[in-house]
Amino acid sequence: MLNKDMMKKIILLLAIVLTSSYGKADDRTDYQLQDSVRIIKKKLEIGQKGERIYYSDIQSIDGDLLSFDSLNSLNSLQSLQDLNLSSLDLLNDLDLSSPESFESLEEVKNLAELRNYTELEIVTNNNQKKKFVFNTRSSSGKNDKSSDKPAKTDKKTFSNISAIDVTHKYGNIVTRESSSKQVEVEIQYFEKDGSIGECQISNTGGQLSILTVKTGGKRSNAKINYIISIPRGTAFDVNINYGDVKMIDNFNGALNANLSYSNLSAQKISNATIKARYSDVEIAEAQDMNLSGAYSDYTITKVRNVISSGDYNDCQFDEINTLTIDEKSTYGDLEIGTINSFSGKIYYADLVIENLLSDINVTSNYGDITIKSVSSKVKNIYIKGSYCDVEIGLPSGLSATLDANIIYGDLNIPRSYTTKFTESSEKNNRVIMRGQIGKGNPTAKIEVSNRYADIQFR
């Protein structure tokens, strides 16, 4: 018989498989369960690509089901009414330490009551792969998919437009920047279950409003796509659920985007405010940005200034001038290439900086800070940590004042650095070091403190 830990792993695995096919843009079910699965995927470092779910190490799956409250919503999934739990008797002989044992999951035919195809690929530490395909056709035996070609297409043109507002659900939006002074809108209607959606377009005082009012029948969610040519400098406000926004050309107007279960990609934009929930944002280049939301990924190659807030967001900036965490950010990692200035508070998040040019002022709890390289022109380094290991790579020619205060931790300074301390003490589990690192007159200031963790210079 299975012990409690093994049963927890099985329930967690089955829950992820069951819900993986409920996170698409055209679903109508309760998304509370999908939310919890996304959290668990982040904790387990499970990535999703297309129709596959990748498990970096199947032996590591051991979720705390007490935090997986949304399993209760499994009762709302109609497909579970046809799930014969007696067919899970084979799990009594399942050895989770061996991925080969998962071949027996192919015998669980009742999982096929869910719709669409889901391919589960298990990747072990030695890169061995096991694939399981769950045939989840609908009871009619036909795949429930919308047509790839629109059933109807409309084109409209508008003049003297200063701002565009789009509220959309179930479908994609493509924008192009135009040298024309007219806004051109192409509307693509896709048929599903014998019906198509509806939209309303109005022009009031130069404000063009596009509203998707119906996407097919009550449960069909027929898709609508918009292709919009926007004159240079026109403001664009978009609120989208379960769709993608693709900005093909450079966009020089003000952008305000509210994304939910959607993705946004852009080449070059100027000023943008983006709030994302369960979404991915990819931008090649931007000027000033305000980013917020939850459970989303931001990938920006080059940006001037960013103000960021939110929880469970992973952010990657290759080149950035200033990054400010407006409010404390929790449970989301930050990866930065080259940055001039950073300030903010982060909790339960790791911060990695490849190259710091000028200054950093950060408070971090339960997350590590790594600054791999510091410019010789750096001005200020202020780090306050708690349960936060800190590693800083200083240039060999830097001269800086040092003020270090550590409780229940160690301060490590390589012997290769020239140091001169005016105060140095280690007692009662507390380390205090004040003085100077490097030769000559100090050009930078380093102030670091930590509790229950170490600080290391290298």
pLDDT, position 54: 37
SS3 74: helix
Coil vs helix vs strand at 208: strand
Burial of 10 (0-12, 13-18, 19+ CB in 10 A): middle
Go through the chain and tell me how many residues it has.
Answer: 458
Q: Name which of 72, 194, 221, 48 is nearest 121 in CA terms.
A: 48
Relative orientation angle of helices 4-20 and 32-44, to the nearest 10 degrees? 120
pLDDT by residue, tens only, the chain of 458 residues? 555 455 545 555 555 555 444 444 444 333 444 444 444 444 444 444 333 333 333 333 333 333 334 444 444 444 444 444 444 444 444 454 554 544 444 444 444 433 333 344 444 444 444 443 433 333 333 444 445 789 999 999 999 999 999 999 999 999 999 989 999 999 999 988 888 889 999 999 999 999 998 765 555 678 999 999 999 999 999 999 999 999 998 999 999 999 999 999 999 999 999 999 999 999 999 999 999 999 999 999 999 999 999 999 999 999 999 999 987 788 989 999 999 999 999 999 999 999 999 999 999 999 999 999 999 999 999 999 999 999 999 998 899 999 999 999 999 999 888 999 999 999 999 999 999 999 999 999 999 999 999 999 98
Residue that is written with structure tokens 């998707």 in the block? 212
Angle at 95 between CA 93 and CA 97, to 5 degrees: 180
| The amino acid at 236 | F
Choose among 431, 372, 425, 376: nearest CA to 398: 376
pTM across the whole model: 0.69
Integer CA distances (angstroms), 369 to 62, 305, 334, 345, in order: 27, 21, 10, 12
Q: For position 29, what pLDDT does the model report? A: 38
d(CA 271, CA 219): 38
pLDDT at 12: 52
Domain residue spans of the chain: 4-136, 146-253
How far apart (Å, rounded) are the C-alpha atoms in residues 264 and 275?
11
Q: Which residues share a beta bridge with 209?
A: 165, 202
Non-local CB neighbours of 139 within 8 Å, separated by 6+ positions: none
CA distance 272 to 229: 18
Give 84-141 as a DSSP string.
Answer: -GGGGGGGGG--TT-GGGGGGGGG-GGGGGSSEEEEEEEE-TT--EEEEEEEE--TTS
Of the candidates 332, 292, 316, the residue with the CA atom closest to the CA atom of residue 38: 332
Residue 230's pLDDT is: 97
Retrieve residue 379's tokens: 């001005």
Q: Are 438 and 445 in contact (CB under 8 A)?
A: no
Contact predicate 250/179, CB 8 Å: no
Residues 376/398, Cβ–Cβ less than 8 Å: yes
Selection from 283, 288, 334, 332 nearest residue 310 by Cα: 332
